Chain A
Amino acid sequence: MSVGTRQYGRKTSHSEPGPGDGGRTGSWRVARPVMDPAVCIPARRGAPACFICWLYCPDGVISRTVPPKIDYEYCKGCGICAEECPTKAITMVDESCFIQTGGGEK
């Protein structure tokens, strides 16, 4: 540790709104939600629709865009999006698959 926290100012644990205050929580993930655009409603229609995954994601890491995007930097891999998706467009894939193929961040 090169820089200490002496100058931090506060003397408690104090989090302000913003990404990453709990660290890069994507590293906690053991299973990755992977979205199939051929099945996802807004991706298939090319129009804003559904967004059930965006609504349910407890960490706010799914965008309300066409198609929805998942921020793997912070996605903890809880799997709620996959559970809630009405068309089963999201599949939870074991992270070890990405390590073996060299794809994605660890």
Chain B
Amino acid sequence: MHIIESGNAAAAIGVKLSRAQVIAAYPITPQTPLTERLSELVESGEMDAQYIPVESEHSALAVCIAASTTGARAFTATSANGLLYMHEQIHWAAGARLPLVMCVVNRGVGAPWTIWNDHQDSISQRDTGWMQLYVNDHQQIIDGVIKAFMLAEEVMIPIMVCYDGYLLSHTYMPFEVPSQDMVDAFLPPYRPAYALDPDRPANLNTVTLPDVRQDTAGRTAHGYMEIRYLLQEDLLKAADAMDAVENRFREHFGRGGDPFFETYRCEDARFIAVSLGSLSYHLREVIDRLRDEGVKAGIMSIHLYRPFPAAAIAGGLSRAEGVIVFEKALSYGYEGALCSDIKAALYPAGGSKRKMPFVHNYILGLGGREIKTVQLYEAMRNSCTRGTKIETTPQWVGLKI
């Protein structure tokens, strides 16, 4: 069934269709309508779940951690400073290997206060051990939520589904809503290997000493370092799992098919723009205009940011002359985090001759600063005509200083 609804509604419907059993969330702009919708669905009986009101985002994630530990499928959502308030529990959920799904409705981070969109909130949580999926439109929001539950539960690693505040969360677009039967046939119930059980009591995520230890059965149990190594190992393998989930999704629902990234006019492109989220679709207009002018340009939109599918991304970029990374976030004191990741991905692809594309980095749209198509065009045009000059600091677009 096709409906016209907001991006937040798309996320809520995806959560309902995924049969989440426990939802705990604290309202924060621009995520609020998502959690409001879920609370309405639970209150009206349309959704068989526990909605647990909490006094903070830290508690919201703590509730989800506890619920997931008992074997329930749990969901939360937040934005900006709410996400940062969860930070300690975000690390915990990954180390505890709980397959939570969290929507991050991307918003800039204070100080100073801003309620508008950029990507600083979720990018700042890049190194927590969660997977991160960035989606570009309403269809990808609802589909991304359903896929996220499957992926998280297969690899036992939590995942953030990130979408742009306002640009997607509050705009209305048509999208396909699959039937409950279709989703049930795709996504099996959550059945963890161990769930908290009074008949099999256990103390979970107990203190580890620097070395491995003997457990009560005399077996050598992991120390901290082994547990963290396994998280890294499984995260790296999760890219293949995402590929498999995407293929299954496409076979089942007849859409999707881009597990790692989505390309537009990249086949013969000499210059490839790279970005996250809805900005990628905005950039398509610029690509079309450059193509009309005879500049072979394309755009790669990264969906899976963690684990970072470096080899696949390098494969898609390494034959280009230039890679131009547009980011709504910044690793303060250096450059855009995505730009650094792209450069690192290209390094092995350069081979012994160290031949690789130049990489330019543009920072834009922070705190919701309007991004004009003409600005994107001028930035791309500039990078495509400046030649292979190596730049070490990002350029800011739309700055009025």
Residues of A within 8 A of B (CB): 1, 3-5, 8, 10-23
Instruction: Point out the residues of chain A lying under 8 angstroms from B95, CB to CB.
Output: 12
Contact B97 A12 (CB under 8 A): yes
Instruction: Point out the residues of chain B lying under 8 angstroms from A12, CB to CB.
Output: 95-97, 204-205, 227
Q: List 14 A-B contacts (CB under 8 A).
A: A5-B212, A5-B220, A5-B222, A8-B220, A8-B226, A10-B221, A11-B230, A11-B234, A12-B205, A13-B221, A14-B203, A16-B203, A17-B201, A21-B206
Contact A5 B226 (CB under 8 A): yes
> Most chain-A Cβ atoms within 10 A of its Cβ — which of B95, B213, B223?
B213
Please report the C-alpha to C-alpha distance between residue A15 and residue B200 in the assembled complex, in whole angstroms. 11
Residues of B within 8 A of A (CB): 95-97, 156, 194, 200-209, 212-217, 219-224, 226-227, 230-231, 234
Contact B209 A5 (CB under 8 A): no
- Dominant secondary structure at the B interface: loop
Least distance between B156 CB and chain A CB atoms (Å):
7
Please report the C-alpha to C-alpha distance between residue A12 and residue B234 in the assembled complex, in whole angstroms. 13
Instruction: Point out the residues of chain B lying under 8 angstroms from A1, CB to CB.
Output: 212
Contact B212 A13 (CB under 8 A): no
Least distance between B336 CB and chain A CB atoms (Å):
32
Contact A11 B156 (CB under 8 A): yes
- Dominant secondary structure at the A interface: loop
Contact B204 A3 (CB under 8 A): no
When the two chains form the complex, which single residue of A4, A5, A19, A22 contacts B206, counting CB atoms closer than 8 Å?
A22
Of all chain B residues, the one with the shortest Cβ separation from A24 is: B214
Contact B216 A18 (CB under 8 A): yes
Check A15/B206 contact, CB under 8 A, given A3-B220, A5-B212: yes
Check A13/B208 contact, CB under 8 A, given A5-B226, A8-B221, A8-B222: yes
Least distance between B305 CB and chain A CB atoms (Å):
23
Please report the C-alpha to C-alpha distance between residue A10 and residue B222 in the assembled complex, in whole angstroms. 9
Contact A20 B202 (CB under 8 A): no
